Amino acid sequence: MALPELFRHRDRFIGCLAIGRVPRRRVGERVHVGQHEAVLDEADIAAFDSIADTLLYRAGETFSIMTQGYDYPSLARCPALAGDGRCAIHLNGKPVTCEVVPLDPLVPDALQHLVLAGRNQSASYLGADCIQEGERADAPLLTAEGEIKDANARDALARRRRALEREREVWGRAVFESLRKDLFDSPAALARIPPGGFLTISIVPALLAVASTSARRRQLCLDYIDSQLALIDRSIEQALLRRRLEDRAVTQELRGFAQAYQRAKALLGTPLPAMEMESSAPASLSSIEAYLSGAHR
């Protein structure tokens, strides 16, 4: 989920930062997924490099930094799932990252068929049983001949990539630099990123990046923090009632998120001089404020 989507659904999704390693690909590399195989050529590598240059972060290795929703895995359901099994926000701000499923915005279009094959083999991937090879009368054809054939899927993939590019511009590069010394330049710290998975940390670095120079952005972030603290309290309270052993680590991490929010709230409660100057300016939204409010959609 992009930061504006988390702001919009602040009472439903607990936000966090997810940091992952993205493998560097090489010309001639063979990529196997079950019975499917691709030998990467120069065009494939150029496509991967283009994605990395616009959406990812490099410090020796290549990394992804994204905001996402966080919840207890033991619940095994999306917080937006209604009682009847339908998405409660389908017509009210459904995240683009949901629309792009099952495709991957960090993989070139020509290789999305390998993404689908991998999803189909993963028992843990939600909706994997819907992924089948060949054309079907009751479902659109997603990929063929190295292209995204379905117009809706193609549009969702493009919008998700644009959102990630905007996130990188608004807060991503600032967060990357703020974490460089203690994470990206530290082999010991990088060991915390699980292979094929993500390191989840508080979303506070992203909030501080967008709130640093504007009183209005600061207030947007403070409002978000208040909603998140209340949501975390409710989530932990419900987890304690469930009394499940596997929930303990998540509860501990959520308490860490809450502590980070409290520290950020205290920090943002003291306006910087630049904020005071802007607070007397006209109330028109800046491009970043429009982005956070979802006006860019």
Note down pLDDT in tens along the chain; length 297 residues.
999 999 999 999 999 999 999 999 999 999 988 888 899 999 999 999 999 999 999 988 999 999 999 999 999 899 999 989 899 999 899 999 999 999 999 999 999 999 998 888 765 555 546 777 777 777 788 898 889 999 999 999 999 999 999 999 999 999 999 999 999 999 999 999 988 889 999 999 999 999 987 888 999 999 999 999 999 999 999 999 999 999 999 999 999 999 999 999 999 988 666 544 444 444 445 788 888 877 555
Predicted local confidence at residue 196, as pLDDT: 83
For residue 26, the tally of other CB atoms under 10 A from its CB is 10
Predicted local confidence at residue 2, as pLDDT: 96
Helix (H, G, I), strand (E, B) or coil at 226: helix
- C-alpha 208/C-alpha 221 separation (Å) is 8
Instruction: Give the tokens for residue 243.
Output: 């009394």
- C-alpha 168/C-alpha 56 separation (Å) is 8
Predicted local confidence at residue 128, as pLDDT: 47
Which ranges constitute the DSSP H helices of 70-203? 96-99, 112-121, 151-167, 173-179, 187-190
Predicted local confidence at residue 227, as pLDDT: 98
Instruction: Give the tokens for residue 198.
Output: 């993500």
Delimit the domains of the chain by residue range.
Answer: 3-273+282-294
C-alpha atoms less than 13 angstroms from C-alpha of 91 in its C-beta half-sphere:
1
Predicted local confidence at residue 177, as pLDDT: 96
- C-alpha 175/C-alpha 143 separation (Å) is 35
Give the end-to-end CA distance of the chain in Å, rounded to a whole number: 14
List the strands of the sheet with 57-59, edge to edge.
Answer: 57-59, 61-70, 14-22, 199-201
